[in-house]
Structure 1
Amino acid sequence: MDKPVDKAVEKDVDEAVETATDRVEFETMLLSRHSHLHAPRTRVGAGGLDRSAYVLLTRIRMHGPMSIGQLTDAFGLDASTLNRQTAAMLRSGVVERIADPDGGIARKFRITEEGERRLEADRSFNIGGLERIMEHWPAEDVIRFADFLERFNRDIERLEGRPWPRT
């Protein structure tokens, strides 16, 4: 008699997971929609960085100077896309091209003081927005949410084979 009960419980769990996965899809779609409340693109007209510059600068800050090839490997983007994005970043003065500090042939992009300043301004803006959104959350919920987001992102990175450095 245990078998039918186990199958029924298993079916209920499978249906609950399927429903939860549907909810995760929907909520991540909304999250991307709501990102205007804290994302840097809302500051672009006011000297903020566009989304691609924000992400690239964050990676360069964490990793150190990177070549187009290294950025291609890190992001899974083609070189032409990264050339366009880094050219715009060079024009805006947030990165500079330098010789490879390790003596390699490829030139690398290094964040400038202006890039550091603008990245930090956008990060502060984003963090402030997130603090306003979660101001009524218990601290334990904020910590748990951050842990789940990190786990979610690490699993995406694992599947893509492109882990992000973390401090």
Structure 2
Amino acid sequence: MTSQNQPVPVDDEELLDNVGPALSRLRRRVGGGRGDLTRNIVLNVIGEAAGRVTVGGVAEEMGVAQPVASRAIAACISDGLVRRIASQRDGRSTLLELTDEGESARRSYAQAQRHAFEEITAHWQSEDRLQFARFLHRYGQDARAWSARDRAAPDETQG
């Protein structure tokens, strides 16, 4: 048993079946609090898009309905972390960008996550810790590419 009373998977299939729940636990436990986690996701999506994302784009990246993303973004705007800007290509479209305070909050959260990672893995061998970090980064990049391909694929149910 692990420290959280989760049985250790006994074979490869069980291990793979438990990836999703493990990622979910990781996200919940290292996030700080639900509001902090949501805010961090919003800040990262907007920061990574570098002034080229709308509320709808944030909703899509978060995998939530637009009203959910809109409320989270409104809270970030109210806190001075995000601002709306006019699109230079489409005057009807409003884009989002981080303020200096938003970028600072994003960096601060990343530092807190690194600190948590280092504490959680403190008893690991250095090469294991770095390899896991590489795999997490790679997984994130591949998940983004997979998600983009999935959104770009035509809906086969309508043809």
TM-score, normalisation: structure 2 = 0.71
Task: Report if aligned partners of 2:55, 2:66 keep a CA contact under 8 Å in 1.
Answer: yes
Q: Distance in 2 between matches of 1:151 and 1:71?
A: 22
What's the counterpart of residue 105 of structure 2? 118
| One-letter amino acid of the structure 2 residue matched with residue 70 of structure 1 | G
**Structure with more of its chain in helix, by fraction:** 1
What are the within-5 Å matches in structure 2 for residues 95-134 of structure 1? 95-134=82-121
- Cα 1:130–1:61 shift into 2, 3 Å: same
Alignment CA distance shift 1:95-1:133 (3 Å):
same
SS at match of 1:18: helix
Map of 1:52 onto structure 2: 38
Which runs of no fewer than 5 residues in structure 2 stay unpaired? 1-9, 151-159
- For the 8 Å contact 2:41–2:62, the answer to whether it is kept is no
Q: Greater Rg, structure 1 or structure 2?
A: 1
How do residues 16-27 of structure 1 correspond to structure 2 at under 5 angstroms? Answer: 16-25=11-20, 27=22
Identity, in percent, stands at 26
Distance 1:106 1:52, change over 3 A: same
Could you give the per-residue CA deviations for residues 21-80 of structure 1, whole angstroms, max 9, x where no partner exists?
A: 244355445434532xxx2429xxxxxx62111011112112112211322333332211
Distance 1:27 1:72 in 2: 24
How far apart in 1 are the matches of 2:29 and 2:124?
A: 18
**How far off its partner does 1:160 sit?**
3.8
Q: Which amino acid aligns with 2:116?
A: G
Shift of 1:103: 4.1
Highest RCO, 1 vs 2 (Cα 8 Å, sep ≥ 6): 1
Distance 1:140 1:120, change over 3 A: same
The whole-number CA distance in structure 2 between the counterparts of 1:34 and 1:75 is 18
- The count of aligned residue pairs is 140
The answer to whether the Cα contact below 8 Å between 2:40 and 2:106 also exists between their aligned partners in 1 is yes
TM-score (norm 1): 0.68
RMSD: 2.8
Alpha-carbon distance between aligned partners in 1 of 2:38 and 2:109, rounded to the nearest angstrom: 13
